[in-house]
A and B are shown apart, each in its own frame.
Chain A
Amino acid sequence: MTMGEQNLASTASSAIGGPPLIEVRNIVKNFGPVVALAGVSMNVMAGQVLCLLGDNGAGKSTLIKTLSGVHQPTSGEFLVDGRSVVFSSPREALDMGIATVYQDLAMIPLLSITRNFFMGREPVKGQLGPFAFMDMAYADRVARDEMRRIGIDIRDPQQAVGTLSGGERQCVAIARAVHFGAKVLILDEPTSALGVAQTSMVLKFIRQVRAKGLGVIFITHNVRHAFAVGDRFTVLNRGRTLGTFAKAEIKLDALQQMMAGDKELQDLSEELGGTV
């Protein structure tokens, strides 16, 4: 959280060259007659947090789902490490190192921390006929270590995820993605349902992840949260990019106004549209 740590992170990120981890150019996505994305361009570099800001209906979720392989773009370019890609499933995106942490779908409350952490990526220690045996001792150890690294001291990795707080659950989900080799993390409103203390816990962890050299796409409504960790800010509106700004180029107030002003405009036009 100190300035020193932040400077260290930004110098580390500028040292890493090469093409962006993910880049989209003029992405268009139509659902039948509905235009969800009308030409969105953005990119994220290694060791960088790109904040995706926008109001409801701006196309944030469609963009995430396109980046994570759930939807296929109608047109436009989608580059990973400078190479053009087409994903037909989330699994393919995951295999390319693009991991998405959904706000509500990240964890199964009744399952243990260990079982959640290794869900879909179970460590196997032996095979008997069709059945692969899980290495529970290893899984427990890794889960406990990863939790400790985030700063959550769990009593028992076999305890249900439901016993963790919302912020801790988000952190576990992010730690899981990092552990399994994600290069780009897409975080879908990870702080929107959290209180102040929980939010700072998640934001702190996002910085840790950036310092490791991962690219992070951080989707949020909240300009303050975005400004706390973001390096660059892309503002979406009605399926288009309003612009991308580096942190040095724009003040928090200006960013806030860009979203809020737009909101006023919408409210105004709604009012006028009703009477005029």
Chain B
Amino acid sequence: MAEGSRIDAVAPAAAARDERLARQSGLRRLLSRPELGAAAGAVLVFAFFAVAAHGTGMFAADGILNWTTVSAQLMIIAVGAALLMIAGEFDLSVGSMIGFAGMMIALPTIIFHWPITLSVLFAFVGALLIGFLNGVIVVRTGLPSFIVTLASLYILRGLTIALSILFTNRTIVGGVKEAAQGSVVSFLFSGTIGDSFFAWLADHNIIARLPNGDPSVRGVPMVIVWALVLAVIGHIVLSKTRFGNWIFASGGDANAARNVGVPVGAVKISLFMLTAFCATVFAACEVFEFGSAASDRGLLKEFEAIIAAVIGGCLLTGGYGSVIGACLGALIFGVVQMGILFTGAPNDWFRVFLGAMLLIAVLFNNLIRRQVVSGR
């Protein structure tokens, strides 16, 4: 009965046909949205913790701030990972890049007494260069990005530890907060916005106060602002621009894309640079938050970013996915990680849940893909 096309050929009753097809197309369109699974997952997770973590403060102002911050951090790198995955590549060096970028901010500032703004600029330029190298090697050699960036993962992590030991004889480089006191970059990565709004909320007893009289939430941390800005830009670029079409085409079938003139190499290289950029934003937020860089920062973050993207409906084989989905994936991740803490369940269960979630997401994605390409 659902075989619309066959029936049209026999009965060209225009009005009735259009009505029925429109409905089917709408349903199909909804079902073929890559973020459908993640949206359903997010609803489930919120429903679960609304009951399980009831009365624990998870959904009070400071509780919300807690899990949104964790989600936002992951969202920053998930946006880059998702776009790169849709273009058909992986970047396993994201986690190491976070550690290395942190050192690129802290070491020049602390050891060579560079102005903090210059150090941050240096870190971003350095990271983009490493991303560029990753991309060029993958594109030029045609090797799987899995292997190329696995090499970068080790090289960057090794360099992070070695350089920090070489210059400071320790693996944590502190004192950044003091060096960055009152600077623009410090605000840019660890400040808060909307402070007066939250003060007003506290004045009107809408949110709680800390024992010292401050509102329980001082403002929206910049890490959340970064996550939202990157997510919005990423979503618009992917779905509305020519470059977005090139991303889909490069991941869907690089040869077909090349045959019609899509600059596949340039697209992929620029996205490797994007993941490095995202990792550096992540690193800067942490460095200014804690006032230090540590050589183990960002450990396993590459996998968390990929997991968020996959939960969000990105296909590991490329050519399909969405930024919104990846953001929902990051949100699920943050809510579950923090929710388990709030409910007081042993933290070990988080990993069990995460693995199960990943498996379900991949199975679900497979189903969706078959649904998308089997029209008749």
Q: List chain A positions with a Cβ less than 8 A from chain B.
A: 90-91, 94, 100, 102, 105-111, 115, 118-122, 124, 130-134, 136, 153, 155-156, 158-160, 162-165
Q: Please count the residue pairs between chain A and chain B whose beta carbons lie under 8 angstroms apart in the complex.
A: 103
B245's contact among A118, A156, A164, by CB below 8 Å, is which?
A118
A-B contacts, 5 listed (Cβ < 8 Å): A105-B255, A110-B369, A120-B257, A120-B261, A132-B242
Cβ-defined contact, B320 with A122, below 8 A: no
Q: Which residues of B contact A108 (CB under 8 A)?
A: 248-249, 252-253, 256-257, 319
B85-111 CB mask vs A (1 if < 8 Å, else 0) is 000000000000000000000000000
Cβ-based interface call for B210 (8 A): no
Q: Which residues of A contact B258 (CB under 8 A)?
A: 90
Cβ-based interface call for B56 (8 A): no
Cβ-defined contact, B372 with A119, below 8 A: no
Interface residues of B in 205-259 (CB under 8 A from A): 236-237, 240-245, 248-249, 252-253, 255-259
With A115-B248, A132-B242 as given contacts, are A155 and B24 in contact (CB-CB < 8 Å)? yes
B317-359 CB mask vs A (1 if < 8 Å, else 0) is 0011000000000000000000000000000000000000000
Q: Which residue from chain B places its CB closest to the CB of A120 in the assembled complex?
A: B260
Q: Which residues of B contact A136 (CB under 8 A)?
A: 240
Interface contacts beyond A118-B245, A153-B8, A159-B25: sample of 12 additional A-B pairs, CB < 8 Å, sorted by A: A90-B259, A110-B372, A111-B249, A119-B249, A120-B249, A131-B241, A132-B241, A153-B5, A155-B25, A159-B32, A160-B375, A162-B375
Q: Which residues of A contact B21 (CB under 8 A)?
A: 155
Cβ-based interface call for B376 (8 A): yes
Q: Which residue from chain A places its CB closest to the CB of B317 in the assembled complex?
A: A110
Q: Which residues of B contact A102 (CB under 8 A)?
A: 256, 259
With A108-B252, A108-B253 as given contacts, are A156 and B259 in contact (CB-CB < 8 Å)? no
Cβ-based interface call for B374 (8 A): yes
Cβ-defined contact, A105 with B372, below 8 A: no
**What 4 pairs across the A-B complex have the smallest Cβ distances?**
A163-B375, A162-B373, A120-B260, A108-B252
Cβ-defined contact, B241 with A107, below 8 A: no
Cβ-defined contact, A119 with B376, below 8 A: no
Q: Which residues of B contact A106 (CB under 8 A)?
A: 256
Q: Which residue from chain A places its CB closest to the CB of B24 in the assembled complex?
A: A155
Q: Which residues of A contact B320 (CB under 8 A)?
A: 110
Cβ-defined contact, B373 with A110, below 8 A: yes
| A120 nearest CB across to chain B (Å) | 3
Cβ-defined contact, A165 with B241, below 8 A: no
Cβ-defined contact, A105 with B261, below 8 A: no
What band does the interface of chain B fall in when counting residues whose beta carbon is under 8 Å from A?
35 or more
Q: Which residues of A contact B249 (CB under 8 A)?
A: 108, 111, 115, 119-120
Q: Which residues of A contact B319 (CB under 8 A)?
A: 108, 110-111
| B374 nearest CB across to chain A (Å) | 7
Q: Which residues of B contact A153 (CB under 8 A)?
A: 5, 8
Cβ-defined contact, B32 with A105, below 8 A: no
A100's contact among B25, B255, B259, by CB below 8 Å, is which?
B259
Q: Which residues of B contact A109 (CB under 8 A)?
A: 252, 373
Cβ-defined contact, B375 with A131, below 8 A: no
| A189 nearest CB across to chain B (Å) | 16
| B342 nearest CB across to chain A (Å) | 39
A133's contact among B29, B241, B255, B261, by CB below 8 Å, is which?
B241
Interface residues of B in 270-302 (CB under 8 A from A): none
Q: Which residue from chain A places its CB closest to the CB of B248 in the assembled complex?
A: A111
| Complex CA distance for A42 and B117, rounded to whole angstroms | 66
Cβ-defined contact, A122 with B25, below 8 A: no
Cβ-based interface call for B54 (8 A): no
Cβ-defined contact, B8 with A91, below 8 A: no
Q: Which residue from chain B places its CB closest to the CB of A160 in the assembled complex?
A: B372
| Complex CA distance for A132 and B315, rounded to whole angstroms | 25
| A92 nearest CB across to chain B (Å) | 10
With A107-B256, A136-B240 as given contacts, are A160 and B32 in contact (CB-CB < 8 Å)? yes
A111's contact among B240, B241, B252, by CB below 8 Å, is which?
B252
| Complex CA distance for A160 and B28, rounded to whole angstroms | 11
Cβ-defined contact, B25 with A162, below 8 A: no
| Complex CA distance for A153 and B14, rounded to whole angstroms | 12
Q: Point out which of A124, A130, A134 has the most chain B C-beta atoms below 10 A from its C-beta.
A: A134
Cβ-defined contact, A105 with B245, below 8 A: no
